[in-house]
Amino acid sequence: MKKWFSEWFLVDIVALGTALLLLIGYIVGYDRLEPDSPFANLLPNVATEVLGVWIGVRVIDQIIKRRQRYHQMRQTLLDDVVSVRYQLDRFFPASLYTSLDPLYRALGWINEKSPVYRRHLSADEQEALERNLILAADAVTQCRVFNEHLKLNNECEQNFRKITVSITSWRNNLREYLQDIQYQMYPRLLDTPGPLGPWPQALAMLLTRIEHSLSMREREMLTTMQQEMRGDGPFTHLDVDRIISPLRHFDPSMYYGDILWHVQLEEAVDLIALDPLETEEKWKELLTQATAGIEETRETLPTPIIQAGEELLRDTIELGEYGLKSILAIALHDQQFDEMRRNIEFESM
C-alpha cells in the first residue's frame, strides 16, 4: 500500500478523476447538448483516451517491473552461488584456519531460496541449478570430512609430543643413575677394589620402571651392564668405567623436533593443508621417506614413540586421501558452476 501511495497515487487520482469527471459531465449534460455539438463526441472520446493511456501506462509498468524482477532474481541467484563458490575456493590453502560455518550458511541460504529462484529459470537452467547444489553439497561434505581428519591429525600430533615428553622424563632417571654410579663409585674404588653394593639392585628396580622408555639397543646394553655388575668382585675404578662406557653418552632427550621422520610428517601435513593436489608429489615423497625412517629407527627409538609415529603416519596418509577428494570435489563444482553461470548470464542479457 505504501509503495502504491508513493508511486501511483497521484497518477491514478489524476487519470481516473479526469476520466470520471468527463464521463459524469457527459452524462449529466447529454440532454442539453445539441446533436451536432462537437462536445457530444469530445467528452467521451477524451475520457476514453485518458483511461486508455492510464491502462497502457500501468500495463507497461507491470511488464517492465516483471522483467526487472526476472533479471534481479537471476542476478541474486548468481550472487548466492558465487558466495558458495568463494567459500569453497578459499578452503584451500587456508584449511588449517578456515571455519566451515560461513560455507554452511551460504549453502543453506541457497537451498532455502531455491524454490523462488526456480520460478525465474528455464527447465534446463533448473536442472543445472540442481546439479550445482548437489555438487556443492558433495564438496561441502568432503571439506567437512577433511576438516574433521585435520583435527584428528592435530590431536594425534599432540599425543605424539606428549609421549616424547613423558619418555624423556622417564629416561632422565637413568641418566641420573649413571651419573651417580660414576661420580660416587668411581672415586671410592680408585685406590682400593671393592663391591658395588646396592647399585646392581637399584639398576634392576630402575629398569623395571623405565623399560618402556628405552630402545631395543639400549635395553640390550643395559642387560649386558646388569650381568657384568652381578659378577664376582672386587671391582676397580677401571671396571666401573668399562661397565658404564657403552652408555657414557646416553641422551635422555626424545625431543620430537630431532626425529627426522616426524619432521617429514609435519611438513607433509602442511603441504596437504595448503593444496593436496598441487603438492601431491612432494607430500607423498615425504610420507615415503617417513615410512622408511620409522623402519630404520625401530631399534633405536623407544617402542611407544614408534607406535605413536606409525599411528601418525597412517592418519597423515588418510588425511592426504581426503584432501585429494575435497579439492577434486571443489574443482568439479567450479567447472559446473562456470557452465551454469554462462548460461544464466547469456539468457539474462
291 is a domain residue: yes
252 — phi, psi (to 5°)? Answer: -75, -15
Which pLDDT belongs to residue 225? 83
Which residues, 6+ apart, have CB-to-CB distance to 145 below 8 Å? Answer: 322, 325, 326
243 is a domain residue: yes
Which pLDDT belongs to residue 55? 67
Q: Give the DSSP letter of residue 246.
A: G
- Identify whether residues 89 and 181 lie together within a single domain: no
Q: Which residues pair with 235 in a beta bridge?
A: 194
Which pLDDT belongs to residue 69? 80
Please name which of 91, 138, 153 lies closest in space to residue 318, comparing C-alpha atoms: 153
194 — phi, psi (to 5°)? Answer: -165, -175
Give the Å distances, CA to CA, from 338 to 81, 128, 173, 320.
10, 11, 64, 27
136 is a domain residue: no
- Identify whether residues 37 and 92 lie together within a single domain: yes
113 is a domain residue: yes
Domain membership of residue 56 as a residue range: 2-120
DSSP per-residue codes, 9-44 = HHHHHHHHHHHHHHHHHHHHTGGGS-TT-THHHHHH
Which pLDDT belongs to residue 71? 78
128 is a domain residue: no
- Identify whether residues 93 and 235 lie together within a single domain: no
- Identify whether residues 187 and 317 lie together within a single domain: yes
- Identify whether residues 75 and 177 lie together within a single domain: no
Q: How far is CA 120 from the centre of its chain?
A: 34
284 is a domain residue: yes
Three cell numbers, residue 164: 616424547
Please name which of 292, 305, 204, 202 lies closest in space to residue 253, comparing C-alpha atoms: 305
Per-residue pLDDT in tens (0 to 9) along the chain, 349 residues? 555 555 555 565 666 666 666 566 555 555 555 555 565 566 566 666 666 666 666 677 677 777 878 778 888 888 888 888 888 888 887 666 677 888 888 888 888 888 888 888 788 888 888 888 899 899 989 999 998 999 999 999 999 999 999 998 888 888 888 788 777 776 776 677 878 778 888 888 888 888 888 888 888 888 888 888 877 778 777 887 788 887 777 788 888 788 999 999 999 999 999 899 999 999 999 999 999 999 999 988 999 999 999 999 999 999 999 999 999 999 999 888 888 888 776 555 4
Tally of domains within the chain: 2
* H or E element in which residue 197 lies: none
Which pLDDT belongs to residue 155? 93
Which pLDDT belongs to residue 198? 82
- Identify whether residues 318 and 202 lie together within a single domain: yes
Three cell numbers, residue 306: 614408534
Which pLDDT belongs to residue 2? 57
Work out the burial of residue 5: count CB atoms within 10 Å of its CB; fewer than 13 is exposed, 13-18 middle, 19 or more buried. exposed
235 — phi, psi (to 5°)? Answer: -110, 140
Which pLDDT belongs to residue 152? 93
99 is a domain residue: yes
Q: How far is CA 73 from the centre of its chain?
A: 31
Which pLDDT belongs to residue 291? 96
Q: How far is CA 208 from the centre of its chain?
A: 45
- Identify whether residues 169 and 299 lie together within a single domain: yes
- Identify whether residues 242 and 114 lie together within a single domain: no
Helix boundaries (H) for the chain: 2-7, 9-28, 39-89, 101-118, 123-180, 186-188, 199-210, 216-229, 237-244, 260-274, 280-296, 303-347
6 is a domain residue: yes
- Identify whether residues 25 and 67 lie together within a single domain: yes
Name the amino acid, one letter, at 182. Answer: Q
- Identify whether residues 210 and 294 lie together within a single domain: yes
Give the Å distances, CA to CA, from 263 to 267, 269, 284.
6, 10, 14
- Identify whether residues 46 and 113 lie together within a single domain: yes
Contact 233, 194 (CB under 8 A): yes
- Identify whether residues 320 and 173 lie together within a single domain: yes
The CA angle 281-297-182, to the nearest 5 degrees, is 145
Please name which of 328, 327, 349, 325 lies closest in space to residue 78, comparing C-alpha atoms: 349
